[in-house]
Structure 1
């Protein structure tokens, strides 16, 4: 069986010599909207999705996951799927349909004149779901070559398409074999999923350790090491998160019924835990949830979510809007139009209670119009760190207690993660950079830099000048940097990928360090280039996986 992430267990690929593959079709969709090949459908064949640019989502038998470069998805015959790419930015997705046969589908050595069996599939691909790949550019080139051969009228060239498809499968299965998570990661993910599926039940550490198949003491250490909080703390937060979904304006449940449903028989204890996690009492949360709060600009959505506010409306063109809706409250966020004039017309009919926006992006005339529609709060023009921004928004919306509670929880989590490293972060020299076109920019402040250098206390590499805004490096400076680990964001354009290819093939980045650990970690551009409380916590959690082998 495959694990939660779709990665095959060791030994699965030994069956490949018993299989053969036939490519049915390949197409490149630049927009999966309207009438397209990936509207809701049951699959007749295997499906391979390779995103090369942009972002989107896919549902497989009702289970949602993201589509993004650096990861591929395999779907199996009989599954019900639907997919769509985000409408903003450059889009690109290769869709390959193929069949898998076993040797028993071919005539046997003693039956040369008997026809092969019917073309029904007797085999499944060695794994399903999502897996990381080493290079999006490599897969894009594979697909371009396959598509060119498939379009040819020459039979030999079309045969070559099948050969090239085998080359793509070799790359895919090699990456899946090499990039699979450790057994410990898979076990912890399985227990985390168990908690989410059985959160209403009485769960104990002993029971969860038994589910993991390890000792209680070992389980406690591993779970906290991976997720930054104990299993019981995670259970509490998950229960409260579920309880919040039953407290929204469109629901009509009594508090005692909500408490009992999420696993708390004692309502007083539930109230205490709810306030401990959210910073406010359940009654206050339910009262505040009835307010219509608009996130006029998309990068304010994250701050609202950390304050337990699901925006009543938010921009449809922000790449995280759909993600936020699906992660927290499907269908609960009204999409706002792209231009100010249309947005104001929408809001005039919605009659919101509060509008939250960014001062620097709005003209005085638009600010006045928004102020006439509802109480409007604008995050000031001057630079503001994410903690100050969260407190500012909390003060504006009457959520100061929630902001303080969330920040306290964040600080505790950062301290816990620092303590879980068996090495001192202050002994590790770290360089964070982004390659975009011909420019290499050091990311030393805000976003990744602030979390890793300030909150987790890693040491900047010798070339990093944190006082210099927008510091850039030459490729030679990057190659010679004295650093223990390089976190690198490489944009998908050809120039950026060319620089990365040159760097990747040079020592010392080409080889692991003396302890055998990788010196370079590649990160996608999004969401780490955003800067709000929501993404800062994601970065905090990211650190656990980046130094997984060091702990």
Structure 2
């Protein structure tokens, strides 16, 4: 994610007829008592189509709601994972496919999403009623066992992609629909007095259609999504020293602090004053296993290593509660930058496992008081 900043290549829309597609694999995943897709790296493009049920999908660091008719694409090199709200109800078609672009030298596979010729279809796609029926048809021919029928499944898959691209009305120079533009506006200006009429104008559709389309596309109403944005930001502000409830309410878009308090308690389960009291002490979890130890004591760390792939459980549930995110990539590979982050965060106390080498311990102890937990007593390498 972090790399040397240079001039970013501009991503431009390429005519769809310049691309070639080949389906590599297809699964129809039905829920059971333990249904989930662990966070994993996509070696090819991955298309998700939800036939029924509800759940959550992580694409990179973004979280989406799975619901009937929802359609998402993960590009190669991205990460994805999913889980169901009610495992017995969820049914998803999962397509893995390659994208090629015709050039003067032949065909080359499209893999780098920051190149100018990258395939623009990714992220959330406005649902199309015909997609699910096409999924059933592709699946039937793909698993027929006959080579000619499998060839036919490739043709029907082209139709499926056509329907997805048809519903994906691209804005000028960007891989975003007008609906996504309104959603992005909400994410940027959630603290303002936003109205459905204003958001509908951004999406260039009527207010009634905006309400229906937003709920159908994202599985949550626009108002509920705005509330989530505001409360997540409020949680971040509550972790700051000397934070005042009235100021926080105003900063996230609520002029009435009592209304904000009622909203917060309804969504989070505890009053904001109680939440702030629990967050008052800035405790940093330096290693991943420490997070679980703190949570068992009902203590949410101020800083902790988080990553959607390497620590998916903690990332999903606590990323908005933990103010400072340290790198969790491959057993603390970036320990030097993590310590630099802690030096700036100035935690009251740091808790770490004790298997660090002398240099790392010496640097870590510059960030504040450090308490070490014996590594072998909390499960050793099994904690990763």
In the superposition, the TM-score normalised over structure 1's length comes to 0.35
Indicate the structure (1 or 2) with the bigger Cα radius of gyration.
1
In the superposition, the TM-score normalised over structure 2's length comes to 0.49
